[in-house]
Amino acid sequence: MGDYLESGVYIDSDHPSVIQFSERVAGPSVHPGESLVPGQEGPADSRERAVALYYAVRDEFRYEPYRIDLNPEAMKASALLSRGYGFCIAKAVLLAATARVQGIPARLGFADVRNHLTTARLRRSMGTDVFVYHGYADLLIDGKWVKATPAFNKALCERFGVETLEFDGVHDSVFQPFDGQGNQYMEYLRDHGRHADLPLEDLRLAFEEAYPRLMVQGVCDLSGRFEDDAEKDRRRRRRGSSP
């Protein structure tokens, strides 16, 4: 489990800001075989700590695919903490890093997915509704690897009209297959396996090949906010008009 507990280049769990965030959310670090010191605050077991971290990463950081920076310094967990927003991979990196602070083995998983409910603007810019290398965290809890996807924050889900994706530390938490009205929402197409740290070069090549109109030197920078466009699209759907 060493590779899934040690700090990495991007899963920089030894960074002071990552440690501070993890301990603020889940209490003092508790590593395998250790117990909380009497009087310390925080969830007592790894499942409770993992759940607390999931919701903090999901809701305290805005999901923002309009601004993606695949340069090395921007993809570290500590960079997301200072930025305050990120896309699915960046948020999965942060969840994995904060879990490792707590002695919870964590790795990253990737899959190509078809998103049936992205914004019309992002779909046009991408030229497709397929997202390559959609990212999630994979946490070892009570001897079992459990998938956790903290991408879509609660405020964004409300604007899309979909239920938030919950996590209990026992069952896999992947994107909802349907939205609140029963429309198909997310479909997994291809698995890219699990990794001890971010395979950034593979990720960057895949993004630049899939989205040549969107990515310029590893950066996507669309004006506006994704959640605002999500709300506009939802209003159009309610009126029965096309985006």
Q: What are the residue ranges in the chain where pLDDT is below 50?
A: 32-33, 35-42
User: Cα dist. 26→29, 49, 98, 100 in Å?
Assistant: 8, 5, 9, 12
Is there a domain that residue 16 lies in? yes
Instruction: Tell me what pLDDT residue 207 has.
Output: 97
Instruction: Tell me what pLDDT residue 47 has.
Output: 95
Is there a domain that residue 38 lies in? no
Is there a domain that residue 222 lies in? yes
Instruction: Tell me what pLDDT residue 34 has.
Output: 54
Instruction: Tell me what pLDDT residue 101 has.
Output: 97
Instruction: Tell me what pLDDT residue 152 has.
Output: 93
Instruction: Tell me what pLDDT residue 35 has.
Output: 47
Using a 10 angstrom Cβ sphere, with 0-12 exposed, 13-18 middle and 19 or more buried, the burial of residue 65 is: buried
Is there a domain that residue 102 lies in? yes
pLDDT tens-digit profile of 118-176? Answer: 899 999 999 998 999 999 999 999 999 999 999 999 999 888 888 899 999 999 998 77
Is there a domain that residue 37 lies in? no
Is there a domain that residue 39 lies in? no
Is there a domain that residue 208 lies in? yes
Q: How many domains does the chain have?
A: 1
CATH classification of the domain holding 205: 3.10.620.30
Is there a domain that residue 155 lies in? yes
pTM: 0.90
Range of the domain at 230: 2-32+44-239
Instruction: Tell me what pLDDT residue 231 has.
Output: 87
Instruction: Tell me what pLDDT residue 41 has.
Output: 44
